[in-house]
Amino acid sequence: MAGIYVHIPFCKSKCRYCDFASFPDKLCFAESYMACVYREMAMRKEELKGYTFDTLYIGGGTPSVIDENYIAMLVAAARKNFNIAKDAEITIEMNPGTVSAKKIETYLKCGINRFSVGLQTAVDSQLAELGRIHNLKEFLLCTKLLKGRNFSVDVMIGLKNQTIADIEKTIETAAYSGANHISMYALSPEDGTPIYSDYLNGELPDNDQVAEMYSAGVKKLKELGFDRYEVSNFAKKGFESRHNLNYWRRGDYIGFGVAASSCINNIRFTNTFDLDEYFKCILSNHLAVKDREEVDLAWQEEEFIMLALRTSRGLNLKEYAKLFNKNFTEVYAAAIQKVGTYIEVNGDFLKIKDEFLFIQNSIIVEFLRTE
Ligand code: SF4
């Protein structure tokens, strides 16, 4: 399994919590940028000819803010240069404030078969507080256009003045809109973003309150038929994101566009975050890779453990033995004993118990300290 990620770094305006590579004032460069992405794909054609890609994920930024025909050309460029599986999962991220029936029609026509819609919260005052450009009404109009389609909705917890009732309302709104997949993330106030001052002023919920919000969210999602398959991801049966699963199983993936990262054959590399530098490199027929490093065996093992323990399925003990030629329960006997109350073994899988998945970082760290 292998995936393609394409980064579209344009947005209408910058949200208060955003530290992603997105440039609200650079939308006028969308046409040139997309031409560079198509060119970057052609530059990687030879190197990737042995791969079949099962997923193509168009993320951002806000991919739906640019002309829909560029997106159609992007999907065509991916098909022209790479071997894309016939039944590939092709996803586009959409901001409800930038969607139209015409855009969705073009997306469907070019083969996009999955949509990821950023709702974040169903409370308009909280959307405004986050600096989002959309409101609840626009989300409902957007999902009306997606009726009967395969789509996911993003929701956030840990917001200023957010109550458990707000979270339940948001999840119900997402579920009743027809979504078959919901991602629920906790707001992470990053230094350098405007929302960080709210955090410093003690205006955001503390860790215990966020944990409570998460538990309430999980409960509501379960009631509505969404099974957790990773700490932040919930799906109706059979609608798990193949693109995400590929990351968590350490599959190969290639990224195109500014700030996109890749991992092919255990070589990890990231494109420059600087839009001008990206243009300069691609226009002079050079790749725009900034950082490149080999993932050695110890690092592969660490990643394997970290990613597997984030999932509800857990770590496949047989697969671990095959990949690293050792017995997990022997190597990590001390860690297993230390965090024994938080984990369980089900057949070939060792997993963090469902009720402790939200605090997985403090459990996983015990496995990374051993040896
Ligand atoms: S829409 Fe997403 S990428 Fe764009 S500014 Fe907001 S959070 Fe950042």
Residue 78 β-bridge partners: none
Which residue's CA is minimally distant from atom 2 of ligand 1?
61
Ligand 1 proximity of 8 Cβ (cutoff 6 Å): no
Atom of ligand 1 nearest to the CA of 95: 1
Render pLDDT for 256-279 as a digit per residue (tens, 0 to 9): 999 999 999 999 999 999 999 999
Among 176-180, 246-250, 258-262, whose mean pLDDT is lowest? 246-250
Ligand 1 proximity of 61 Cβ (cutoff 6 Å): yes
Pick the CATH number of 2-246 from 3.10.20.30, 3.20.20.70, 3.40.50.1000, 3.90.1180.10: 3.20.20.70
Ligand 1 centroid from CA 329, angstroms: 42
Structural domain boundaries in the chain: 2-246, 297-369
Ligand 1 proximity of 187 Cβ (cutoff 6 Å): no
Render pLDDT for 283-342 as a digit per residue (tens, 0 to 9): 999 999 999 999 999 999 999 999 999 999 999 999 999 999 999 999 999 999 999 999
**Is residue 296 classed exposed, middle or buried when 0-12, 13-18 and 19+ CB atoms within 10 A define those classes?**
exposed
Ligand 1 centroid from CA 16, angstroms: 9
- Hey, is 308 helix, strand or coil? helix
What average pLDDT is seen over the chain? Answer: 95
Q: With contact defined as beta carbons under 8 Å apart, do 149 and 125 qualify? A: no
Q: With contact defined as beta carbons under 8 Å apart, do 322 and 328 qualify? A: no
For the 297-369 domain, the top CATH level (class) is: mainly alpha
Ligand 1 centroid from CA 82, angstroms: 29
Same fold, 2-246 and 297-369: no
Ligand 1 proximity of 3 Cβ (cutoff 6 Å): no
Residue 230 has pLDDT above 60, yes or no: yes
How far is residue 286 from each of residues 156, 254, 259, 282, 351, measured CA to CA in Å?
Answer: 38, 16, 15, 5, 44
